[in-house]
Chains A and B, each alone.
Chain A
Amino acid sequence: MGLKTTYSCLCFLLCSFAVKAQKTTAEISFQLLFDKVPLELAKQYPVSEKDSITIDFLKFYISDITFLKEGTQVGKSKEKHHLIDAQNSSLYKTLYKVKNKNFDTITFLVGLDSKTQEKGIQGGVLDPTSQMYWTWQNGFINFKLEGESSLCPTRKNKFQFHIGGFQKPFVTSQKVSLATSGDAPIVIDVNISSFFNAITISQTNTVTSPNKKAVMVSKVLPTLFSVHEN
């Protein structure tokens, strides 16, 4: 082996080491909130003097959490799909790998991309026992929120939002893009009260199939997310 080859090998090893050394693993969390305090299921949240909202069920998918620096991808979360379930905890933590901590934007999808949807029955967080696959038709529900409110003129004052649909014209997964200073650990606030500020549940309270209303509701979902300010 010539000196040149040895030198090249050494350079290659050093370079790969340098690249590897730059990659760090850090934690990103999603914090479920109702009016700035951690969300509790089955708790009555007053929304006016006489009316209140209770959340019984909240589950949603987050996909492809990506970290960007000036528009270039510098990192992503280890898992592609995340199922956030209020039943487990109001705080969902996951790990991501990033080249360095210097990023300015986090993007992710609320829901699942169409490729995942088209693949149908899968395992892990996508297993149908997660109660997120529709039974009477095709596809995963991206965002599922159920509860009661005195504002709803429905049977037992129930509201049900099963927001899904991935085939045109009813595509309901929504991209979120958040600016951040890039300091780990990152906490993303998911303010559920913002949902009820945007949706008038006295009128829109039952959306359980892919249709125009589902698309309209899905457009509200990105507004629930913000980077937690310390």
Chain B
Amino acid sequence: MKINSIIIGLSVVLTATYCGVKKSGLETPEYFPVPHYNFDNNPIAKAKISLGNNLFYDPLLSANNTISCASCHSPYAGFAHTDHDLSHGIYDSIGTRNAPPLFNLAWQDRFMWDGAIDNLDAQALAPISHATEMGSSINEVVAKLKAHKKYPELFQEIYKDSLITGERVLKVLAQFQLSLISSNSKYDQVKKGAANYTLKEISGYNIYKSNCASCHAEPLFSTYGFANNGLALDNTLKDIGRQKITLNSKDSLHFKIPTLRNLNYTFPYMHDGRFKTLREVLKHYTQKIQNSTTLSTELKNGISLTKKQQTDLIAFLNTLNDRDFVVSQKHQINRSFFTNTEGN
């Protein structure tokens, strides 16, 4: 009797755990925390991810059909914009910030470097509408999709009616972005017991744990909170960060804490892309932190690292690069969709 109850109890727990993992419809490692994204509002479906993928790579989203989401969020760059400090947009315009990488978004509660948007579904409205990004509007996008040769059919297949709405466009775009999960780096392999760190990497891991982990916490390698990491204000941009949104001086120079995953692909670094290499980043943290009232308390005394410690730390950071993720075919452009659609 007792054993029976235990077995029943255990199966209930196991089923619940299984459902918890499966609830999102996305494959995630068990050591990832519970996602922040509310999947009940936008249940994951393969067909929606695929439609979102097409929209993500489609320059139709911009006013003159030249700029797609992927223009600034390239899969090979961990869905960031390699080599451009500030993002490039429509009509050769240049924005004011460095396009952040897109992956593990379901675990993030605020988007944009200043956290202006707390809802992934709504995020795409910003680049679609911004004059120096895509220069269009959701109304224009919906109108173009309605007149397109292929899209109405895809919406019909998914929603069982031909209605194309702003809500549907934004939610399928969110689905594709939610499907961008990076969890197969060497760090992940070690977590899963499928690889071992080198001595150098172990040393780097320990340096990371005592100097970086409070803001760049495992396993996502960011708390995704906001902090002032002591960068000097760029006088050409005068970007005060989160204060612009909250209008609270305590948030002056606060920017979203980026993840340390995939740094190999997502350079340059910081909100304005001012550092091209990890060495420059470490030089900042060890020598160039600007003190101010809003400086993160963790950095008040600076970070002290020898050259060897920096080398070890970089060795560990390199274990966070997920090559499978950046080359994965499932996140790439669906070429067959884009053939024979010219003129739309």
B-side contacts of A128, CB under 8 Å: 122, 125, 138, 166-167, 170
Tell me which of A123, A129, A136, A138 contacts B119 (CB under 8 A): A138
Known: A133-B122, A138-B122. Is A123-B116 also a contact (CB below 8 A)?
no
Cβ proximity bits A121-153 to B, threshold 8 Å, 1 near / 0 not: 111001111110111111000000000000000
B-side contacts of A46, CB under 8 Å: none
Q: Is the CB of B138 within 8 A of A129?
A: yes
Bound: A143/B247 CA distance, A: 21
Q: Is the CB of B125 within 8 A of A120?
A: no
Q: Is the CB of B116 within 8 A of A121?
A: no
Partner-binding segment picked from B126-134, B186-194, B296-304? B126-134
Tell me which of A119, A120, A136, A211 contacts B129 (CB under 8 A): A136
- Give the interface residue-count category, chain B: 20 to 34
A-side contacts of B170, CB under 8 Å: 121, 128
Cβ proximity bits B37-50 to A, threshold 8 Å, 1 near / 0 not: 00001000000000
Known: A121-B171, A136-B126, A136-B130. Is A131-B119 also a contact (CB below 8 A)?
no
Q: Is the interface of A mostly helix, strand, loop or mixed?
A: loop
Cβ proximity bits A77-103 to B, threshold 8 Å, 1 near / 0 not: 000000000000000000000000000
Q: Is the CB of A127 within 8 A of B166?
A: yes
Tell me which of B121, B167, B245 contacts A137 (CB under 8 A): B245
Q: Is the CB of B121 within 8 A of A136?
A: no
Known: A137-B116, A138-B119. Is A121-B167 also a contact (CB below 8 A)?
yes
Is B184 at the interface (CB under 8 A from chain A)?
Answer: no
Tell me which of A129, A134, A138 contacts B166 (CB under 8 A): A129
Q: Is the CB of B130 within 8 A of A121?
A: no
Bound: A134/B130 CA distance, A: 11
Known: A135-B130, A136-B126, A137-B245. Is A127-B167 also a contact (CB below 8 A)?
yes
Is B117 at the interface (CB under 8 A from chain A)?
Answer: yes
Q: Is the CB of B167 within 8 A of A135?
A: no
B-side contacts of A131, CB under 8 Å: 139
Is B165 at the interface (CB under 8 A from chain A)?
Answer: yes
> Shortest CB–CB separation between residue B109 and chain A, in angstroms?
11
Q: Is the CB of B122 within 8 A of A129?
A: no
Q: Is the CB of A129 within 8 A of B142?
A: yes
Q: Is the CB of B245 within 8 A of A122?
A: no
A-side contacts of B125, CB under 8 Å: 128, 133-135
> Shortest CB–CB separation between residue B40 and chain A, in angstroms?
10
- Closest chain B residue to A122 by CB distance? B167
> Shortest CB–CB separation between residue B250 and chain A, in angstroms?
13
Known: A121-B170, A128-B170. Is A135-B126 also a contact (CB below 8 A)?
yes
Q: Is the CB of A123 within 8 A of B167?
A: yes
- Closest chain B residue to A128 by CB distance? B166
Cβ proximity bits B96-131 to A, threshold 8 Å, 1 near / 0 not: 000000000000000000001111011001101110
Q: Is the CB of A135 within 8 A of B171?
A: no
- Closest chain A residue to B128 by CB distance? A135
Q: Is the CB of B167 within 8 A of A138?
A: no
Instruction: Please indicate which of the listed interface residues A119, A120, A123 has the most CB atoms of chain B within 10 Å of its own CB.
Output: A120
> Shortest CB–CB separation between residue B128 and chain A, in angstroms?
7
A-side contacts of B245, CB under 8 Å: 137
Bound: A128/B167 CA distance, A: 6
**4 extra A-B contacts, CB within 8 A, seeds A121-B122, A127-B165, A137-B245:** A123-B165, A123-B168, A128-B138, A135-B126
Q: Which 6 A-B pairs have the closest CB atoms?
A: A120-B119, A128-B166, A135-B129, A121-B121, A129-B166, A137-B116
30 CB < 8 A contacts A-B: A119-B41, A120-B41, A120-B118, A120-B121, A120-B122, A121-B119, A121-B121, A121-B170, A123-B167, A123-B168, A126-B167, A127-B166, A127-B167, A128-B125, A128-B138, A129-B139, A129-B142, A129-B166, A130-B166, A133-B125, A134-B125, A135-B129, A135-B137, A135-B138, A136-B126, A136-B129, A137-B117, A138-B116, A138-B117, A138-B122
